[in-house]
Chains A and B, each alone.
Chain A
């Protein structure tokens, strides 16, 4: 039993120092060891009552033995015999009190609920060796173990004053104040810590992390730091911590103010501000991020970082305008797009040799094509990109968009040529996949349905491709809607209509969809055509016509997969035109007639937001 032997050895060592003559010491030691082991076993088995007589005898025999003393004290405590434990400690204190013994006595008094006596004993301990920092640490540690935080704070404060060391116990006090909910005081200690050691910002953030989760703690910390910044405006550590706290509170506007000042104080020429703009953009705080970029350009128009800030500004405005969750109006979105365009054009005009010029051209070109629907302008931009910066990644993207421009302008041969080149050159890239899918669409628009199916099939073989789902959808469209005649007349018309819709030739698209519905009213594409009519009317902002078109889908094709979608669109249009009761009735119909629709959740959400019926 090696473990037992080790335990015996340890106990024997504990027993060392028992005063006895060398001849009798061995016998005495061995019987004491056995009795001590027995007492220990009783204590472990939860029977301190039977352990006490053994321990008392041992203690009487060897009152200076620390092991006997401690174990006996534990035994008394476990039976709540605080008076006996105190007598034991008092006896040990005798005429030579020490800080640890007095601290122990105070702890027992505190547990006995003699709080005043305990405080007096702790004070006595402090008076015993007032010029040693360890004195205060010993008492403080006991108080923390008792969860007596306020007294612990007062002990450390006393130590600080007695030792005449205002910087003593700073981390301990800061932490204790935080635990005790005294956030302002805690922050003041951290501020003082940073004043002496500005490199400890990371440590302070780490300690603060636990209580900044509480709003109260966050607000108090910010208020203290703001005052510190006012007193020491050149202290970078304070400002960095303040900005961090503002961001923790999601107050990016306040953080921007701090970064503005930091940038100026550190003479960073906009670099800090620009870095902050990127952080704010990551948090989707586009308003603050654009202001930060604008501040860089305003204050440091010639700084190294200015061109990147300009380009980023454009992208931020564009992202902001296209944010789906944003509740801003179309006019505001339009103004943001305009600012994006202005930022891109200014960047390109002002920095012709900047390494990010290809990116700038790409961003401007896509904005011109997708937002402003200006194919000529976009074509010129992409042409410059592809011709002047042929070896860049942006140029490959530019070629893809050149093909899209050609499609938009109805230059289908050129579009096919450009997409084909890209599909061959870019090989396994996402861009090549997209080009291949566009090629299959081109076949579709031109009525080459076998070729369309072959290409779509090839694309759909690679489920990892982003466009695989689109390809499957295209394949399904073909499988379900070819015939009944050998020329696939209805599908031909539909494909033409979709091309014109994509080219924003809405009148032509509508005319073709009307033809399809009139000439092939029983064709499986009829429901799709009616739904597309609604979509085209919506794109033309003709709400009344869109409503009528969408309504016709569930009426004429109640089993169509477009029926629930059409009803939902009708509900949305009625809501936006100020007819909540009619909208509610439409959503209700959707839920009743199409309970398993994928739009049911959305319809329930809309219905919930509308006024409840009476009765």
Chain B
């Protein structure tokens, strides 16, 4: 399918046609579609899927940052109209002249808004083991619900060099330290043993003595992928264990119950924080029986304060023209988002690297929920907590039904990330 011209190029043509029509030339009035992303939107999450489908069709979509919750503007083709209708996504037709007016309003100097053209549907991969079910991972739930196609890859694909085929990679809730999620109490359950056996077999296949060595190699490749321009997204313990594994590349932080030998007595002294992406000066938890991985995570609120109605975090408001990337990642129809806990609930401010951008933080507490950073020519985004619509998710809990949460602000933050690589790179104002 041929690619359509970008919105602004197209509107220039439309302007010529309109000018032409005043000279007596006949021209069909161009029609555009505004997909609002504020409270008028019936299904925010599916809207991302519809935009993705339009990009897959070769259509250009303009992302109107900070305009009505980060709305989208595109040409009203029959296919996009069908894509919107079948997903139940609200959209409004605009004439070409109204669309032009809207764009110039958004782009006007002095407005904290900007237009970012989205041009290519990013190729997406989710790093998850065989047999992992989509409902165990909020990102896969979001992708499935929004109908965004994606591949599932794992250690073998990464170590065999497949990462370069993808624009955006999400890490399933993996334990990159090789401690199998620190689910020690399940260690004699068949599913745990099978998981451990598969991991050990994979380690052996790739010539590693221990699972932690295999996972470190995978983490190193992922870091390399970011340095070469990839977009990495991770949630919950997939963020924390990623950096722990990288920091521990010269030592052993895995207690005996997980790898058969005790931790390196000098492990803490041998941590290398220059090797991590987001965190520094943290202390891994070397106790096999404690669920927590390190002090990167500040943990859930104390049980007496663990109240979903009181727990929330706030999104930072960025300048769309000066900071388009964090602005894209924080587009939402609300400024505060419901809190939710996970194996990694919130990051301690004390362990953040200096160049990491905080996108959301918990009010009045020295902790952050959503961070972004660059490494080499790529970027990473880490989002703490397990499931934005299930305050406290336990093993075996029923999956979240996103059709009941089509306007979930927490899930929107995940989906902002998938469109981020679709944005045409342009020079920053600075």
Q: Which residues of A contact B (CB under 8 A)?
A: 46, 48-49, 77-80, 110-111, 113, 146-147, 149, 178-181, 210-211, 214, 584, 588, 591-592, 595, 600-601, 604, 607-608, 612-615
Q: Decide yes or no whether B193 CB sits under 8 A from chain A.
A: yes
Which residue of the partner chain B has the closest CB to A74?
A: B262
B151 nearest CB across to chain A (Å):
23
Stretch binding the partner chain, chosen from B10-18, B84-92, B368-376:
B84-92
Asked if B364 is at the interface (CB within 8 A of a chain A CB), the reply is no
Q: A78 contacts B85, CB within 8 Å?
A: no
User: Which residues on B sit within 8 Å (CB–CB) of A211?
Assistant: 190
B194 closest partner in A (C-beta): A181
For residue A210, which residues in chain B have a CB less than 8 angstroms away from its CB?
A: 189-191
Q: How far is the CA of A54 from the CA of B350 in the complex (A)?
A: 38
Contact A78 B190 (CB under 8 A): no
CB distance from B350 to the nearest CB of A (A): 22
Q: B82–A588 contact, CB under 8 A?
A: yes
Closest approach, in angstroms, between the C-beta of A581 and any C-beta of chain B? 11
Residues of B within 8 A of A178 (CB): 190
B196 CB-CB contact with A under 8 Å: yes
Main SS of chain A's interface residues? helix
Report whether B78 and A78 are in contact in the complex, using a CB–CB cutoff of 8 Å.
Answer: no
Cα separation A46 to B194 with both chains bound (whole Å): 32
CB <8 Å contact, A612 and B79: yes
Q: Which of B42, B86, B194 contacts A608 (CB 8 A)?
A: B86
Q: Decide if B78 touches A604 in the complex (CB within 8 Å).
A: no
Q: Which of B79, B86, B197 sits near A604, CB closer than 8 Å?
A: B86
B88's contact among A78, A113, A584, A600, by CB below 8 Å, is which?
A600
Across the interface, B77 reaches (CB within 8 A) one of A214, A595, A600, A615, namely A615
Q: Is the CB of B88 within 8 A of A604?
A: yes
Known: A49-B265, A77-B262, A147-B196. A615 touches B79 (CB 8 A): yes
- The answer to whether B109 has its CB under 8 Å from any CB of chain A is no
Q: Which residues of A lie under 8 Å from residue B209 when comparing CB positions?
A: 113
A165 to chain B, nearest CB (A): 26
Of the candidates B81, B86, B260, B265, the one whose C-beta lies within 8 Å of that of A146 is B260
Contacts of A77 in B (CB 8 A): 256, 262
Whether B82 and A604, one on each chain, are in contact in the complex, defined by CB atoms closer than 8 angstroms, is no
- Chain B residues in contact with chain A, CB under 8 A? 42, 77-79, 81-82, 85-88, 90, 189-191, 193-194, 196-197, 209, 256, 260-262, 264-265, 286
Given A210-B189, A600-B88, 8 more contacts at CB 8 Å? A77-B262, A79-B262, A147-B193, A178-B190, A179-B193, A608-B86, A612-B82, A613-B78
Residue of A nearest to B265 (CB): A79
C-alpha gap A147/B197 in the complex (Å):
9
Chain A residue with Cβ nearest B78: A613
A49 to B264, CA, bound (A): 12
**A-chain residues with CB within 8 Å of residue B191 when the two chains form the complex:** 210
Q: How far is the CB of B404 from chain A (nearest CB, A)?
A: 13
Contacts of A592 in B (CB 8 A): 85
Q: Are B79 and A111 in contact (CB under 8 A)?
A: no
25 CB < 8 A contacts A-B: A49-B265, A77-B262, A78-B265, A79-B262, A79-B265, A110-B260, A111-B261, A113-B209, A147-B196, A147-B260, A178-B190, A179-B193, A214-B194, A584-B82, A588-B85, A591-B85, A592-B85, A595-B42, A595-B90, A601-B88, A604-B88, A607-B86, A613-B78, A613-B79, A615-B77
Q: Please, how many angstroms separate the alpha-carbon atoms of A79 and B87 in the complex?
A: 59
- Which of A146, A181, A604 makes the CB contact (< 8 A) with B85? A604
A613 touches B82 (CB 8 A): yes
Find out whether the CB atom of A48 lies under 8 angstroms from the CB atom of B78: no
Contacts of A78 in B (CB 8 A): 262, 265
Name the distance in Å between B42's Cβ and chain A's nearest Cβ.
7
Closest to B403 in A: A601
Compute how far the CA of A389 lies from the CA of B87 in the bound complex, rounded to whole angstroms: 57
Cα distance A181–B191 in the bound complex, in angstroms: 11
* Minimum C-beta distance from A412 to chain B (A): 47
A354 to B168 alpha-carbon distance, docked (Å) = 71
Q: How far is the CA of A147 from the CA of B187 in the complex (A)?
A: 10
A604 nearest in chain B by CB position: B86
* Set of chain A residues within 8 Å of B77, measured between Cβ atoms: 615
Do the beta carbons of B265 and A604 come within 8 Å of each other?
no
Across the interface, name the chain B residue whose C-beta is closest to A82. Answer: B261
Give chain A residues whose Cβ lies under 8 Å from the Cβ of B88.
591, 600-601, 604
* Nearest B residue to A588, CB-CB: B85
Residues of A within 8 Å of B190, CB to CB, are 178-179, 210-211
CA distance A604 to B49 in the complex (A): 15
Contacts of B265 in A (CB 8 A): 48-49, 78-80
In the complex, A489 Cα to B392 Cα: how many Å?
61
CB distance from A429 to the nearest CB of B (A): 36
Residues of A within 8 A of B261 (CB): 80, 111
Shortest distance between the CB of A381 and any CB in chain B (Å): 46
Task: Tell me the complex Cα distance, A515–B189, Å.
Answer: 73
Q: Are A615 and B78 in contact (CB under 8 A)?
A: yes
Identify the closest chain B residue to A180 (Cβ): B197
Quick check: B193 and A80 within 8 Å, CB to CB? no
Which chain B residues lie closer than 8 Å to A214 at the CB level? 194
**A73 CB to closest chain B CB, in angstroms?**
12
Could you say which of A147, A591, A595 has the most chain B C-beta atoms within 10 Å of its C-beta?
A147
Q: Give the nearest-CB partner of A77 in chain B.
A: B262
Closest-by-CB residue of A relative to B209 is A113
Docked Cα-Cα span, A46 to B78, in Å, equals: 68
CA distance A601 to B87 in the complex (A): 9
The 9 closest A-B pairs by CB, nearest first: A613-B78, A608-B86, A210-B190, A591-B85, A604-B86, A607-B86, A179-B193, A78-B262, A79-B265
State how many angstroms separate the Cβ of A276 from the closest Cβ of chain B.
29
Q: How far is the CA of A110 from the CA of B261 in the complex (A)?
A: 10
Give chain A residues whose Cβ lies under 8 Å from the Cβ of B42.
595
Interface centre among B82, B85, B197, B286 (most CB of A within 10 A): B85
Output the least CB separation between A126 and chain B (Å): 22
Nearest B residue to A609 by beta-carbon distance? B86
Task: Name the B residues within 8 Å of A80 (CB-CB).
Answer: 261-262, 264-265
Q: What chain A residues lie within 8 Å of B194 (beta carbons)?
A: 181, 214
A591 partner residues in chain B, CB cutoff 8 A:
85, 88
CA distance A607 to B286 in the complex (A): 55
CB distance from A492 to the nearest CB of B (A): 42
Shortest beta-carbon distance, A209 to chain B, in Å? 10
Closest partner residue, chain B, to A175 (CB atom): B190
B2 nearest CB across to chain A (Å): 11
Return chain B residues, CB-CB under 8 Å to A111: 260-261
B87: A residues at CB distance < 8 A: 604
Name the distance in Å between B285's Cβ and chain A's nearest Cβ: 12
A149 and B188 CA atoms in complex are apart in Å by 12
Are A614 and B264 in contact, CB atoms less than 8 angstroms apart? no
In the bound complex, what is the Cα–Cα distance between A507 and B423 (angstroms)? 64
Bound CA span A79–B42, Å: 60
Instruction: Give bound CA distance, A608 to B87, whole Å.
Output: 9
Please name all residues of chain A whose beta carbon is closer than 8 Å to the beta carbon of B189 when the two chains form the complex: 210
CA distance A133 to B209 in the complex (A): 34
B270 to nearest A CB, angstroms? 14
Chain A residues in 8 Å Cβ range of B286: 46
Chain B residue nearest in CB terms to A613: B78
B262→A607 contact, CB < 8 A: no
Q: How far is the CB of B214 from chain A (nearest CB, A)?
A: 16
